[in-house]
Structure 1
Amino acid sequence: MSDGLLRQRRNLFALSALIWFLKFGEVEIDKLSFLGIEFKTFSNPDAIYVAIWLAWFYFAFRYYQYFVQEGFPKLYAAYTDLLDEICAPKVTRLVRKEYPNDFREDCGYRTLKKWKWVYHGQQQTGQDKGSGEMTVENFEMQFSPWWLWKEILWSIWHIVINRSVVTDYILPILLALYILVTAWSGWEGGISEIYQRSAIT
């Protein structure tokens, strides 16, 4: 994980935690202190809430950019690598039921998807009487993704539970969505409430 992504992840976590605390702690802002200076007159706490929300949206957007550039490729690679590892024995087993002499043993999910779910294999058919060389024929076998549904579900479960890639990259997004949904309204600093107060004034 790059330093840039780590920074955006940390900032998003911090702002999300602050918004969560302000809402569920039922905090009311009635005075402001900045750099050791306390402002006794502070009649518009909405300014603080707006600043917090603007910062939150900025860091959420920055994290999204880093996630698309760096996080998603790593997440997808971890998932497909594991899926290939789990699916390859199943694919080999299914093929050899129909073609026992198939040579290939390393065909996984990604290869089948690239081949549009048509398996391309080779099998030994005999031996040339003249040269003594082995004769080989190519064959194709139609596959369905549904044949691998157990392996797909197991790969997802394994990635979520046993790999850090999900908590590294997906957890901040889930937390951000949770904050956006739960803190949008229903408290003094909610975006809905801020908008209503500004519309009245």
Structure 2
Amino acid sequence: MSEALQRQRRNVTALSSLLILFNFADVSIAKVSLLGTELLVGDPAKLAAFVWLIWVYFLLRYYQYWREEPDKGLSKAFRDRFDRCAKDYTGKDFVQDMHGSPRYYKLSREGWFNWRYSVENVHPVEGNALVGENIPISIIRVCAWAIFSAIHVCINTPRVTEHVLPFPLAILALASTLLV
């Protein structure tokens, strides 16, 4: 994660958290102290509008930097965990066969509720794919793997808290203001 993205994440997370706190704690601002000078707030609605304007700016900047990030690692972490589930279920190691040739696999749907794990061996000299095994897998198992993989990525890796969490936090800040 780039330093600029971290900075934008910090800004949107901090301001969203403050907005949520202010909304749920029912905080009202009567005066503001700025470098030892007390400022009386004549119209708190204008101050709130200014804070929301800054929030929109921070959220936009985070989104822009987030889009520029080349590899967030979310899909790779999910795929790695999903592949581990498939390897555990099928008992197959899809990286190499016993001769050191790479093995590739593909999960494909056959009909509405049937899935198939196709394994292909790649010939080390010719480079062409040799058809390997076809392992049938139920849709329920595929869904369970997907749910388990998503939970694993959310809990056991920092990917979700680094990249995704600021968005729901910002939405919660907005919802807490509109609904409270």
Instruction: Return the offset for 1:15.
Output: 0.6
Deviation at residue 32 of structure 1 after TM alignment: 3.4
Letter aligned with residue 156 of structure 1: A
Q: 1:84 to 1:32 in 2, by over 3 A?
A: same
Q: 1:84 offset after TM fit, Å?
A: 2.2
SS at match of 2:28: coil
Spell out the pairing of 1:157-172 with structure 2 (5 A cutoff). 157-172=151-166
In the aligned structure 2, how far is the partner of 1:138 from the partner of 1:39? 76
Code of the aligned partner of 2:169: L
CA change 1:62–1:169 in 2 (3 A) is same
Structure 1 counterpart SS, 2:30: coil
Higher helix proportion: 1
Name the counterpart of 1:11.
11
What stretches of structure 1 of length at least 5 have no aligned partner?
94-102, 123-136, 187-201
Query: 2:32 and 2:131 mapped to 1: Cα distance?
Result: 77
Matched, 1:112 2:111: no
| TM superposition score normalised by structure 1 | 0.63
Distance in structure 1 (CA, Å) of the matches to 2:171 and 2:116: 36
Judged with a 3 Å threshold, the aligned counterparts in structure 2 of structure 1 residues 118 and 14 are, in CA distance, closer, same or farther, namely closer
User: Is the 1:60–1:176 contact (alpha carbons within 8 Å) kept by the matching residues of 2?
Assistant: yes
Identify the structure with the greater strand proportion.
2
Name the larger-Rg structure: 1
Q: CA RMSD in A?
A: 3.3
- Per the alignment, residue 54 of structure 1 pairs with 53
Letter of the 1:20 partner, please give it.
I
Q: CA deviation at 1:118?
A: 7.4
- The percent of aligned pairs where both chains have the same amino acid is 31
Structure ranking higher on relative contact order (CA contacts 8 Å, 6+ apart):
2
Structure 2: where are the runs of 5+ without partners? Answer: 93-99, 109-114, 122-129
Specify the code of the residue in structure 2 equivalent to 1:34.
L
Asked if residue 75 in structure 1 is aligned to residue 70 in structure 2, the reply is no
Alignment of 1:149-160 (within 5 A): 149-160=143-154
The alpha-carbon deviation at position 50 of structure 1 amounts to 0.9
TM-score by length of 2: 0.69
